[in-house]
Amino acid sequence: MALHNLTLTQISKGLEAGDFTSVEITQHFLDRIEQLDKGDNGLNSFITVTPEQALADAKAADERRAAGDASTWTGVPFAHKDIFCTDGTLTTCGSKMLGNFVPPYDATVVANMKAQGAVCLGKTNMDEFAMGSSNESSFFGPVKNPWNHETIPGGSSGGSAAAVAARLVPAATGTDTGGSIRQPSALCGLTGLKPTYGRCSRWGMIAYASSLDQAGPMARTAEDAAMMLNVMASFDEKDSTSIEQDVPDYTATLNNELAGKVIGLPKEFFPESLDGEMKQAVMNAIAEFEKLGCTVKEISLPSTDLAIPAYYVVAPAECSANLSRMDGVRFGYRCDDPKDVEDLYKRSRGEGFGDEVKRRIMIGTYALSTGFYDAYYVKAQKIRRLIKNDFVKAFEDVDFIMGPVTPTPAFKAGEKSGDPVEMYMEDKFTLSCNLAGLPGMSIPAGLINGLPVGLQIMGDYWREADMLNAAHKFQQVTDFHNAAPQGIE
Amino acid sequence: MALDRSDVTNIADLARLAIAEDNIGQYQEELSSILALVEQMNAVNTDDVQPLAHPADAVQRLRADVVSEENQREKYMANAPAQENGLFLVPKVVE
Amino acid sequence: MEWEVVIGLEIHAQLATKSKIFSGSSTAFGAEPNTQASLLDLGLPGVLPVFNEQALAMAVKFGCAIDAEIGKVSVFDRKNYFYPDSPKGYQTTQLHHPIVGMGHIDITLEDGSTRRINVTRAHLEEDAGKSLHEDFHGQSGIDLNRAGTPLIEIVSEPEIRSAKEAVAYFKKMHSIVTYLGICDGDLSQGSMRCDCNVSLRPKGQEEFGTRTEIKNVNSFRFVEQAINVEIERQMDILEDGGTITQETRLFDANKMETRSMRSKEVANDYRYFPCPDLLPVVIDDEYIQTIRDSLPELPDQKKQRLMDENGLSEYDAGVLSATREMADYFEAVAKTCGDYKLAANWVMGELSAALNKNEVDIKNSPVSAAQLGAMIARIIDNTISSKGGKDVFAALWEEKGDDVDALIDSLGLKQVSDSGAIEAIVDDVIANSPKQVEQYVSAEPDKRGKMIGYFVGQVMKASKGSANPGMVNKVLKEKLDAKC
């Protein structure tokens, strides 16, 4: 089998067995990136590729292994979403605003991977400041979906999704504020997990909406996602919202039996309007879980429809303040010849931010302004409570909640970019997890018209191990996760 | 709530975003439609609901009062668009 | 029309923590620009705050000291505004759930009466950096060393009625925070700053008039001047039938005027909302009680003790307890010499006169409390006279020596307290003054007291001033009375 078709777990084992060196496999992936990602026909899934650093790290990893000091991750190649600060390496967050920003420090997730000797190949493309569901808002150009170059890969972690789907890297980090790991994972046929809020440190992860943002793995299999979460997750004293809780070995429980587990199917996730093929794909996947001994139960999450309106107050409000530091004074883009400080702010920000970012900043600014705060912001926080309460109640009776990740498979590039509200509807099934702070994942559930779709698995707080276990058992008896875009093999 | 042009320019001013005159109409339309979406929240009564600011019920952790940072001015200021003598430069600030 | 002045003060006090409120940078004053600005203080992308436990403890300490409600759940909010010295584009502060709720302090006015001023609240927040306006080719320089220094903002009720009361309130707050050791109180370095809200209303009217806010007044004297100047300005406008504009003003001490700040700007909308990077700060009764139990003696308590236990007058006790520096100095002197009243006389007399005359702050006094105490002890044990004490004090002030005993020796101020030696001189003087002895003996007994002065003078002269005057008096009286 070609090296790039190996999963993360297989690469880790191959390195351990001495089947290949880290330098060899790193070079192999770097060559693929060069061939498939660049130029007019390339995927454009990377904003920055760091071959020299990667090869140096790979060499160091091989030496570490020779010295008998290797871990599961030593020498294993992967990529970071360009939202994570990397000391000495350009970190743009998909924006012109940070087009020249070289962080002087590492994000905790970055440091965690580094400490294991993992080899980062570069920084993946994304919607600007993680705002988008199609990767069309990146200043560095849209990303193509490897399954069909005319369609979008999803967003905001679209670069990570496309890169992993095209086997340019075996896995990549992502972040999920309203579905930004799960939706592109679904649309590119990957296994992606957004952990419980507070599981992965947010230190060094450029904030979009602080109370919703959470980092997580994007890989081909549940086993790989578990291996990755083992390292990404940590308690971090530098992040006040990081929760002091031990990180279990997520790979240790992958093969637990599922018999007796109860799956809740919220009727709000299967509306009349849901695409028939999508519904069929999800129900087929559920049937597999039944075969594995799970029972299925219809439940209700009555506030589901309020997730979109609440999210589009909370996230913009937080981002409107989070992005105020982008002012052209200490780092980042500065306009030419500002005539005074106000001009410096207005033009640097007006020229440095793209349309979607400006829209969300303006919505957030409006929602927080005098006279509207209670009607918008406080109201949204109350809705947030209702959404959380729905889940808390539901998880008294069920182990997992399942449903679709997206309403449809990947849509055509440009199809929704003219209408922000229509684009927002793309996230209707993923937002509530973020508002409640719950873990959610997407696993491949087949193809519709040759394009992958995902099954969403939601668990109770801190139940990532159970979710990965369920996903892994599913992948033991199904083949969806092994499907690859045409021409990739 | 439908915004008018002056709402858009006021919001843009508050957010310090330069917006081209030609684009105000488009923002007006887009922001109004987003607000219409957002106002679906009004369909439910939330009078007795406590707002939720954080998903977790955790409380603030405290840091010991220790000086743990060293001077790294050169590295930290390397991204500055304009600097002199260890200061960030901006157009003259008038009080 | 007769106007009533309404004043409310907002005092910002920098907390004396070692590190900043949300980062591990030093808060030390005077470092090279931006050398104490961490990733967090610079507001770089991706950074996150973690709250300093000492900032919390100090704020709670303050709350306990002013007998305030302590917020068991306090919440940090973001106050959004753009300014170059505000690196994140918002200030982290507390709006709806401050750490300290309603409390009060008592101020003493010049006539000796006291007034209670209620304190609405005190909340924690971060300080901003500094914009330096020296000419950098027509630009301003930004130094973020101060950004993130913890502050408590202490907000009074609008109950202050004159500039003098405002100063008394500010001084009392200064005294409380320095007694508590939660602020170094150094106004010249900006450790305490005061915003003064001033308005006027016709006497008897309940409704407040429109107020103006004078920002960042940084000395006691300026608070008084700024408020008086602003009262006059407002009164002139109102008397002429004009209206006051609600605005922020700046005090110019050179021109003795206040002037409008940022008047061109539209009213700011701070868009406060709970900071999602920080969780609610939750403390329990035990935490509060532990802090309450560890409070040091506060100015009012010290004053009472100096009166009740150490026998000082109310006035003296008030002066000596008014500032932490004065109180610490005085108590050190008193403990060294063992006599509170004598110590009070010296500190309020000789020392205060010298400090005032030379415009020296007590903390920079050339005469240390240990030296002054040692010197007073030598008066008490009769080694020197009070007059000799003044000479020693003058020598110490002029830094002619450090050691009190060595100075007494070198200045030849040691009193003769040897009774044999004094008796010999007394005998000599009596023998050489037959006429005066005669007068003494023949005088009415109640007139003799006055007449003894002559003999004392002679003895002191003969001893070149070194004889212990108390002993001289005693021996003279014995010997003269024996002749009657």
**pLDDT of C329-378, one tens digit each?**
999 999 999 999 999 999 999 999 999 999 999 999 999 999 999 999 99
CB contact under 8 A, C35 and B53: no
Separation of alpha carbons B40 and A375, rounded Å: 12
Relative to beta strand C90-93, strand C103-108 is unpaired
- Can you give the pLDDT at residue C448? 81
Average pLDDT, chain C: 93
How many domains does chain A divide into? Answer: 1
Separation of alpha carbons B82 and B78, rounded Å: 10
Does pLDDT of C263 surpass 60? Answer: no
For residue B17, the chain C residues in CB contact (below 8 A) are: none
For residue B31, the chain A residues in CB contact (below 8 A) are: 359, 362-363, 366
Nearest-CA distance C344 → chain B (Å): 39
At A89, the amino acid letter reads T
Residue C484: band (very low, low, confident or very high) from pLDDT cuts 50, 70, 90: confident
CB contact under 8 A, C18 and B65: yes
Give the range among A272-276, C324-328, C456-460 with minimum mean pLDDT.
C456-460
Question: Is A180 labeled as catalytic in the residue annotation?
Answer: yes
DSSP states of A316-379: HHHHHHHGGG-SSSSSS---SS-SSHHHHHHHHHHHHS-HHHHHHHHHHHHHHSTTTHIIIIIH
Separation of alpha carbons C75 and C219, rounded Å: 31
- Can you give the pLDDT at residue A489? 65
Give C31: exposed, middle or buried? Use CB within 10 Å, 0-12, 13-18, 19+: middle
Neighbours of A484 (CB within 10 A): 17
Give the closest of B65, B82, B93 to C17, CB-based: B65
Q: Is residue A118 part of a domain?
A: yes
Q: Is residue A431 part of a domain?
A: yes
Does pLDDT of C265 surpass 70? Answer: no
Query: Which residues have C-beta within 8 Å of that of residue A238, sequence separation ≥ 6?
Result: A108, A201, A203, C48, C50
Mean pLDDT of the region C270-295: 97
At A321, the amino acid letter reads A
Give the closest of C42, C46, C279 to A240, CB-based: C279
CA distances for C14 relative to C94, C294, C469, angstroms? 16, 21, 53
Mean pLDDT of the region C2-21: 97
pLDDT per residue over C60-105, tens digit each? Answer: 999 999 999 999 999 999 999 999 999 999 999 999 999 999 999 9
Query: Which residues have C-beta within 8 Å of that of residue A10, sequence separation ≥ 6?
Result: none
- Can you give the pLDDT at residue C244? 95
Q: Is residue A258 part of a domain?
A: no
CB contact under 8 A, A369 and C271: yes
Residues of C with a Cβ under 8 Å from any A Cβ are: 39, 42-51, 78, 80, 82, 84, 87-90, 142, 269, 271-273, 276-279
Separation of alpha carbons C344 and C361, rounded Å: 18
Only one residue has tokens 């858009």, namely: B8
User: Which regions of chain A are under pLDDT 70?
Assistant: 489
Residues of A with a Cβ under 8 Å from any C Cβ are: 84-85, 91, 93, 98, 101, 103-105, 107, 202-207, 209-211, 237-241, 317-318, 320-321, 324-327, 329-331, 341, 345, 365, 368-370, 373, 377
CA distances for C470 relative to A248, C378, C427, C466, angstroms? 86, 14, 17, 12
Separation of alpha carbons A176 and C413, rounded Å: 85
Q: Which CATH topology does C419-483 take?
A: Arc Repressor Mutant, subunit A (1.10.10)
C350-376 b/e with 16+ CB inside 10 Å = b?
bbeebbeeeeeebeebebebebbbbbb
Does pLDDT of B89 surpass 70? Answer: yes
Say if residues C131 and C85 touch (Cβ distance below 8 Å): yes
Q: Which two tokens stand for residue A16?
A: 């351990």
| This prediction's pTM | 0.93
Q: How large a percentage of chain C has pLDDT more than 90? A: 78
CB contact under 8 A, C88 and A239: no
Catalytic residue among A12, A81, A96, A473: A81
| A487 against C135, higher pLDDT | A487
* SS3 at position A84: strand
- Can you give the pLDDT at residue C262? 64
Q: What is the CATH number of the domain that holds A225?
A: 3.90.1300.10
Residue of C nearest to A377 (CA): C273
DSSP states of A139-201: TT----BTTBTTB---SSSHHHHHHHHTTSSSEEEEEESSSTTHHHHHHHT-EEEE--TTSS-
For residue A237, the chain C residues in CB contact (below 8 A) are: 50
Q: Which two tokens stand for residue A169?
A: 């890297």
DSSP letter, residue A454 = E
Q: For residue A88, give its domain range.
A: 1-246+271-489
CB contact under 8 A, C279 and B54: yes
- Can you give the pLDDT at residue B2? 85
Does pLDDT of C264 surpass 50? Answer: no
Only one residue has tokens 């087949």, namely: A446
Q: Is residue A254 part of a domain?
A: no
Separation of alpha carbons A157 and A375, rounded Å: 32
Q: Is residue A84 part of a domain?
A: yes
Question: Is A303 labeled as catalytic in the residue annotation?
Answer: no
Mean pLDDT of the region C48-60: 98
* SS3 at position A400: strand
Q: Is residue A261 part of a domain?
A: no
- Give the CA-trace dihedral at C179, C182, C185, C187, to 10 degrees: -160
Phi, psi torsion values for A298, nearest 5 degrees: -80, 135
Does pLDDT of C134 surpass 80? Answer: no
* SS3 at position B79: coil
Separation of alpha carbons B23 and B5, rounded Å: 10
pLDDT per residue over A409-449, tens digit each? Answer: 999 999 998 888 888 988 999 999 999 999 999 999 999 99
Give A337: exposed, middle or buried? Use CB within 10 Å, 0-12, 13-18, 19+: exposed
Name which of C79, C74, C83, C158 is nearest C124 in CA terms.
C74
Separation of alpha carbons C451 and C441, rounded Å: 10
Query: Which residues have C-beta within 8 Å of that of residue A64, sequence separation ≥ 6?
Result: A70, A74, A75, A117
Say if residues C85 and C41 touch (Cβ distance below 8 Å): no
Give the closest of C46, C50, C82 to A324, CB-based: C82
Only one residue has tokens 């060499």, namely: A59
Nearest-CA distance A142 → chain B (Å): 22
Catalytic residue among A12, A133, A134, A180: A180
For residue C90, the chain A residues in CB contact (below 8 A) are: 321, 324
C119-143 b/e with 16+ CB inside 10 Å = b?
bbbbbbbbbbbbbbeeebeebbbbb
Q: How large a percentage of chain C has pLDDT more than 70? A: 99
